[in-house]
Amino acid sequence: MSGSSRDRVPQPIRGNAGATDPGPRNIERDLQNPDLSVPPETDSGTFYNLKFSYSDTHRRMEEGGWSREVTVRELPIATTLAGVNMRLTPGGVREMHWHKEAEWAFMLHGRARITAVDQEGRNFIDDVGVGDLWNFPSGIPHSIQGLEEGAEFILVFDDGSFSENSTFSITDWFAHTPKDVLAANFGVPEGAFADIPSGEHYIFQGEVPGPLESEKVSAPNGTTNFSHRMLEQEPIRTSGGQVRITDSTNFPAATTVAAALVELEPGGMREMHWHPNNDEWQYYIEGKGRMTVFAAEAHARTFDCQAGDVGYVPFAMGHYIQNTGEGPLRFLEMFRSDHFADVSLNQWMALTPQKFVQDHLHASQELMNSLHKDKRPVIR
Ligand code: MN
Ligand code: MN
């Protein structure tokens, strides 16, 4: 019995290369990273780390929820975008605040009420559910509250050095303003501020609010929109899966962050490609996948990613993603850009004189015949 379970512990041996690893070793992590533990022979060269799991982050605990972040401090290569995973209890409030960075979000579980007011004095109050997005532009004040079932979401900020712990919060500002100034500002006696919090709430437990209609605030300057129902978009379907792409062309508020929600069936593959506009920040929502990133100069490395991980692909580097799990693989590809763009290796080859391509690769006629000229932004 123990012999057979020991046999299942993978050893770092590939053909004639490698040797057993008698330990110490973290077998759980080795099992999660088979392509680091025993890399494909094609992997080569000194490389950046391109993966960080939310399971390896500090979780900030508050009454009303929690948050944890993957920023440039956790994953140093990830300079363009930072991500915060947040949970709010029913009624839990991420308090009224703002920050320098734009905030893009994808709802993972439950429902939440979001509010914002823009610089024109237009307001925005909406309820969002699974698969809905919001985008609060740089400097625009906003809030999030869990509804009856609470909420979990991923927030993506358009600067890798962002920290959720250094936002401008309404309670923090009140706590650090002299009470006579507050009194003068609002034209009320100082006593009106007797009970203000002595410091930042950040997240606090509130009460589940009433229906959206009952919470509408009349706004003489009108209303604006910062949300989008991503799952209501018709997906682009291909043989191995489907994708929905959301950027400023169909979600005008998202002027600095573009996204693709990719869903791969078991065995499906996001084909070999690269992006001509910026780095790619990935968030794995469901399943398991593997990705090899090609960095020129004979450099390539393969990473295994799964639900809860952040992956990263530096600008213009070639890559693919395979579904290596038993079930579906779902992940977000995110870019600090006003538009989504990618270049397909397959399409590039198909649209170049065929003899010329063959001279490069000594490619068989079978390969040449398989090339596709249509834009398949996604999946084989
Ligand atoms: Mn925010
Ligand atoms: Mn990509």
Q: What is the pLDDT of residue 372?
A: 87
Q: What is the pLDDT of residue 10?
A: 85
What's the pLDDT score for residue 373? 86
Inter-CA distances, 176 with 110, 143, 186, 200, Å: 35, 20, 16, 10
Structure-block tokens of residue 123: 């307001």
Give yes or no for a contact between 65 and 146, defined as CB atoms under 8 angstroms apart: yes
Q: How far is the CA of 210 from the centre of ligand 1 (A)?
A: 23
333 is catalytic: yes
Give me the tens of pLDDT residue by residue for the chain, a chain 380 residues long.
344 444 568 899 999 999 999 999 999 999 999 999 999 999 999 999 999 999 999 999 999 999 999 999 999 999 999 999 999 999 999 999 999 999 999 999 999 999 999 999 999 999 999 999 999 999 999 999 999 999 999 999 999 999 999 999 999 999 999 999 999 999 999 999 999 999 999 999 999 999 999 999 999 999 999 999 999 999 999 889 999 999 999 999 999 999 999 999 999 999 999 999 999 999 999 999 999 999 999 999 999 999 999 999 999 999 999 999 999 999 999 999 999 999 999 999 999 999 999 999 999 999 999 998 876 655 54
For ligand 1, the distance from its centroid to the CA atom of residue 166, given in whole angstroms, is 10
Res 238: pLDDT: 86
Please report the pLDDT score of residue 6 as a whole number.
45
How far the first Cα of the chain sits from its last, in Å, is 41
Max Cα–Cα distance, the chain, nearest Å: 85
Short-list 142, 193, 135, 130, CA closest to 168: 142
What ligand is nearest to the CA atom of residue 166?
1
Burial class of 72 by CB neighbour count within 10 A (0 to 12, 13 to 18, 19+): middle
Residue 316's pLDDT is what? 98
Quote the pLDDT of residue 36: 96
Task: Taking the CA atoms of 221, 223, 225 and 226 in sequence, report the sign of the dihedral they define.
Answer: positive
One of 200, 271, 280, 333 is an active-site residue; which one?
333
218-249 burial by CB neighbour count: b if 16+ within 10 A, else e? eeeeeebebbbebeebebbebebbbbbbbbbe
Centre of ligand 2 to C-alpha 6, Å, is 37
Q: How remote is the CA of residue 65 from the centroid of ligand 2, in Å? A: 32
Quote the CA–CA distance of 114 and 227 in Å, as a whole number: 9
What local confidence, expressed as pLDDT, does residue 4 receive?
A: 46
Structural domains in the chain?
Answer: 57-228 (2.60.120.10), 233-371 (2.60.120.10)
pLDDT score at 375: 64
